[in-house]
Structure 1
Amino acid sequence: MVMTSVRHGLLTKLLHAGLLLSVLWQLAASGLVERPKASQPGNQFYEIHEIVGLVTLALVLLFWIWSAVRRRETPFTSLFPWLSGRQLKAVAADIGAHWAYLRRLRLPLSDIETPPASAVHGVGLLTALAMAATGAWLYTQSIPSGLILEIHKAVSNLMWAYVVGHAGLALVHQFTGHRVLQQMFGSTSDAGQA
């Protein structure tokens, strides 16, 4: 199994928490949003949705930049293993190792960063970027509609699946004794600054 120690610096933790909160707000409050129509403006939740959406776009862009320049954390290339044959082989080998754990009704250790976990995080960042970027485009429209709105809605469904899956697996790990929540949101005193 290809693994590296998980050490998240303060900036990664802050960006992760900011994205978590902004994406959760956007998803949870989306049912309350009433878009503007030709004869009436959007409701207050629509206006909040726009503002939080722009904040989300800024956070995800900062996260992308940080992921590309940071040195002591998950390498940028690990987030996108499909761009490298070597990275893809590492993901495939690690999935096999994960399968061996699961057959014994165990979870792999959580104090390590595995190629599949990194790839999943890359998919989450791509999904957040697509959702925020289409939302930003819609922000420029007086009455949002058309293909970009449909893409925005479809990507938000993917984001729901990602959030439920990602958070669900984090909770499974946490309840089985792995300290994944402390690793991502706990003190950085022993993690070092990346």
Structure 2
Amino acid sequence: MSIARSHLTRVLHLAVLLTVVEQLLTSLVMERPLPGEDPDWPFALHQQVGLVGLAVLMLFWLWMLIRDERETPLQQLFPWFSAERLADVAADIRAIVRALAALRAPPPHLDALSSAVHGLGLLLATFLAMSGAVWFALFTGTPYGRILLMAHKLAGNVMWAYLIAHASAALLHQARGDRIFARMFWVRRRRRTHTAPAE
């Protein structure tokens, strides 16, 4: 099944991707300042872009509630409370296992599993943004803040694994000819025009 995606959905998806990548990269080089110290520029950038990312994610959630019914529904992104949708996810996983056992490439269209994975990524990104914002606004330097910061860092490590796996799957689809990057970034293949040879 092919899912229609609007321009706004693609823009928001790209904005979330860019903010997540920036947050992961700055987390590698920033240092949390001691009380009374001014933050270094990677830490300050991490905070500022993190707040922007939270706003983008909130807009994404709002858009998912009101967007066109032809796009991926929330129930497909979060199938965990529907036996029927969980069965669809399980069927996609079994199809992958059978293909790998037979040393074949997985089937090209695994919409149930793909949507569920996107939903998990969205939840993870939202937790990262909200936990960072709450720590920054309310719990800096408190015992609760240290617990929240530990959870934030652990979720960041999980996001690294998710991003690497997600990008690897996208590259695999692209290598198989699915043109996933063209759909994501609106790149259109130019049509060739055949002209009759000159006599």
- Interval containing the TM-score (normalised by the shorter chain): 0.7 to 0.9
**Aligned to 1:172, what secondary structure does the other structure show?**
helix
Tell me which residue corresponds to 1:68: 65
Q: Which residue of 2 aligns with 1:47?
A: 44
Tell me which residue corresponds to 2:30.
Answer: 33
Distance 1:147 1:100 in 2: 42
Task: Find 1:16's aligned residue among 13, 16, 21.
Answer: 13
Question: Which protein, 1 or 2, shows the higher relative CO under an 8 Å CA cutoff with sep ≥ 6?
Answer: 1
Deviation at 1:17, TM superposition (A): 0.6
Contact 2:26 2:43 in 1 (8 A): no
| Separation (CA, whole Å) in 2 of partners of 1:27 and 1:176 | 29
TM-score under structure 2 normalisation?
A: 0.85
The count of corresponding residues between Structure 1 and Structure 2 is 183
Alignment-derived partner of residue 106 in structure 1: 105
Local SS of the residue matching 1:140: helix
Choose 1 or 2 for highest CA Rg.
2
- Taking the aligned partners of 1:142 and 1:150, their CA distance within structure 2 comes to 13
Q: TM-score, normalised by structure 1?
A: 0.87
Shift of 1:176: 2.1
Corresponding letter in the other structure for 2:106 = L
- What percent identity do the matched residue pairs reach? 40
**8 Å Cα contact 2:92/2:110 also seen in 1:** no
> Where do 5+ consecutive residues of structure 1 fail to align?
189-194
Map 1:20-169 to 2 at 5 A. Answer: 20-70=17-67, 71-102=69-100, 103-109=102-108, 112=109, 114-141=111-138, 143-144=140-141, 145-169=145-169
Tell me how far 1:184 sits from its aligned partner: 2.0
**Runs of 5+ unmatched residues, structure 2:** 189-199
Question: Residue type of the partner of 2:28?
Answer: G
DSSP-derived class of the 2:104 partner: coil
Considering only aligned residues, what root-mean-square deviation do their CA atoms show, in Å?
1.8
Alpha carbons 2:181, 2:187 under 8 Å: kept: no
1:117 aligned counterpart, secondary structure = helix
Q: Does structure 2 retain, via aligned residues, the 8 Å contact 1:35–1:143?
A: no
**Aligned residue type for 2:130:** A
More moved, 146-155 vs 39-48: 39-48
Q: Report the Cα distance in structure 1 between the residues aligned to 2:92 and 2:27, rounded to whole angstroms.
A: 37
Shift of 1:141: 4.6
Would the aligned equivalents of 1:98 and 1:107 in 2 still touch at CA under 8 Å?
yes
Return the letter of the residue paired with 1:118: S
Deviation (angstroms), 1:94: 2.1
Q: Deviation at 1:185?
A: 2.1
